[in-house]
Amino acid sequence: MDMITLFGLAIALAMDAFAVALGCGLTLERLTGRHLFRLGFHFGLFQALMPIIGWLAGLTVQEWIESYDHWVAFGLLGFVGGKMIYEAYQDEACRATREDPTRGMSLVMLSLATSIDALAVGLSLAIVGISVWFPALIIGLIAGIMTVAGMLLGRRVACSWGRRVEIVGGLILIGIGLKILWEHTLGM
């Protein structure tokens, strides 16, 4: 695989992570280096590990995974996005206890949801006989960088839009889930 193709693939895979990070940046009241590191590291790690897992699985599970991966991504993104929208309508006392999307199960669910397509890429690399190690490294690095950029951009937008941008962040996550579902069910 040549470098141009590899970088194009890595950027395409990182677009979901970028969009989710944009939504997270919109919803966080205060964006810290810890937030940037946690989301960037986990999204990058999951994006790097999923092609390796897919590659190792090879042809044996390809049809099984392809039949439902889009539903898993849609369910995870829809759940987290719906939760964000719900929390936007809570009063201030409830808002103080809302969950940080860069921690706990939200972080794991978002990391999985944004990296499921990378699993299919790993399967594809196994089919064509390409080693996965260097592509996985590049995919993970690009995803981590684009995640941090998305969070920073989301934070800038949030500062100018006010507190209700949490709704926009939730709608972005649900929209990404719907897009994944649409592409996989209609083959577009």
Tens-digit pLDDT profile for residues 98-115? 577 888 888 998 899 888
The predicted pLDDT at position 41 comes to 97
What average pLDDT does the segment 86-94 reach? 58
pTM, whole model, 2 decimals?
0.72
The predicted pLDDT at position 60 comes to 67
187 pLDDT band, cuts 50/70/90, is low
Q: Which two tokens stand for residue 6?
A: 């590899």
Largest CA distance in the chain: 55
Which range of residues forms the domain containing residue 145?
3-186
Does residue 162 surpass a pLDDT of 60? no
d(CA 68, CA 55): 18
Q: Which two tokens stand for residue 70?
A: 């889009």
Model confidence pLDDT, tens digit, residues 40-79: 999 999 999 999 998 888 756 656 666 776 777 677 667 7
| 90 phi/psi in degrees, rounded to 5 | -80, 155
d(CA 158, CA 163): 7
Does residue 166 surpass a pLDDT of 90? no
Model confidence pLDDT, tens digit, residues 113-149: 888 878 878 877 777 778 899 999 999 999 999 999 9
Residue 40 · residue 25 · CB < 8 Å:
no
| Count of structural domains, the chain | 1
Residue 172 · residue 19 · CB < 8 Å:
yes
